[in-house]
Structure 1
Amino acid sequence: MTEDKLVTCVWFDRGQAREAASFYASVFPDSHVGAAQNSPADNPSMAAGGELTVMFSVLGRPFLGLNGGPNFTPNEAVSFMVLTDDQEETDRYWNAVVGNGGVESDCGWCKDRWGFSWQITPRALMAALADPDPAAARRAMEAMMTMKKIDIAAIERARAGDSAGA
């Protein structure tokens, strides 16, 4: 991994950073697990020599996974938003996150098994919500509010005003 000036540190419970990084790298393209750093001294989370951090990337973005212990847990204040190009890609990412110990939420949000929130967001949804026709954008938003995983065809039907298919 190149020397990036800004790397997001993601806090995991003891020993889970590598497991999560490996999972993310198996699901998302342009992702990999990089170098690890062992703890040079005992600390509240581990004894000296334990894996303290692991570098990884998701969709080309750098992260540092910190095996920090149970002191802090993820919440919805920070999430990973993955923009998708079609329903197949939306389904694949959603099913991978939810199907491996994750949990569905509303409006295209889900959590992975480590508690991190993901927004699996079709570009078609973003376009519908930004439609210059306020009524079309409202219909798309209202349709989205009824969904867990985003259904692009249903969003497009709502945007077009097809109430029979929405």
Structure 2
Amino acid sequence: MASLQKLTSCLWFDGQAEDAAKFYVSVFKNAKLGRISHYPNEGQDVHRQPAGKVLVVEFEIEGQQFIALNGGPQFKLSEAISFVVNCETQAEIDYFWDKLSADGGEPGPCGWLKDKFGLSWQIAPSKIGDWITDPDQRKSARVFAAVMQMGKLDIAALERAYAG
């Protein structure tokens, strides 16, 4: 990860930063791990972490840089922040839904899920923005109503709702 992008998402974990980064890199095909740093002896009166413990893990997904930080138990991930995975096909939706909700993750409503680390994801058809913002409010309302009834989103059902 040579060049620094203007904005980088930093995800706060309590001891699971390296496991989380490795998991996300395994789920996405265009992804890679980057540098890993460790807590030093210095500053232990502030950070209270043992020297040598993983501090941050840099990783990249689809060209987007991330940092996973082992910050401690003070903060937890919540649904207030989520990442949207735009999918072209139902097979792609199924893949990301199954992978990201596996091993203790939690499927949610309207295409949302939480992974095993507590990070929220929206697994959505790439066309959903067009459908929801269509100038024909009847079309957008039908799609919205269909989404509200679903867990994992079903592209064919949403296309039917859009068509009327």
**What's the offset of the Cα at 1:45?**
5.0
- Quickly say closer, same or farther: Cα 1:78–1:95, change in 2 above 3 A: same
Question: What one-letter code is carried by the residue in structure 1 that aligns with 2:60?
Answer: S
Partners of 2:114 and 2:57 lie apart in 1 by 21
Q: How far does the alpha carbon of each residue in 1:49-78 deviate from its partner, in whole angstroms, 9 at most, with x for none?
A: 211111111222101111111110011111
Q: What pairs with 1:27-38 in structure 2 (closer than 5 Å)?
A: 27-38=27-38
Give the TM-score, by structure 1 length.
0.91
Q: What pairs with 1:66-145 in structure 2 (closer than 5 Å)?
A: 66-145=69-148
**What's the offset of the Cα at 1:2?**
2.0
- Number of equivalent positions: 160
Q: What pairs with 1:15-26 in structure 2 (closer than 5 Å)?
A: 16-26=16-26
Give the TM-score, by structure 2 length.
0.92
**What's the offset of the Cα at 1:126?**
2.1
Partners of 2:61 and 2:104 lie apart in 1 by 19
RMSD: 1.3
Q: How far does the alpha carbon of each residue in 1:113-142 deviate from its partner, in whole angstroms, 9 at most, with x for none?
A: 111100111113222212221101100100
- Quickly say closer, same or farther: Cα 1:58–1:100, change in 2 above 3 A: farther
2:161 maps to 1:158: yes
Q: What stretches of structure 1 of length at least 5 have no aligned partner?
A: 162-166
Partners of 1:7 and 1:134 lie apart in 2 by 36
Instruction: State the match for 1:9 in structure 2.
Output: 10
Please state whether the residue corresponding to 1:99 is helix, strand or coil: coil
Question: What one-letter code is carried by the residue in structure 2 that aligns with 1:23?
Answer: F
Question: What one-letter code is carried by the residue in structure 1 that aligns with 2:145?
Answer: E
State the percentage of identical aligned residues.
44
Partners of 2:104 and 2:143 lie apart in 1 by 30
Question: What one-letter code is carried by the residue in structure 1 that aligns with 2:21?
Answer: A
Question: What one-letter code is carried by the residue in structure 2 that aligns with 1:32?
Answer: K
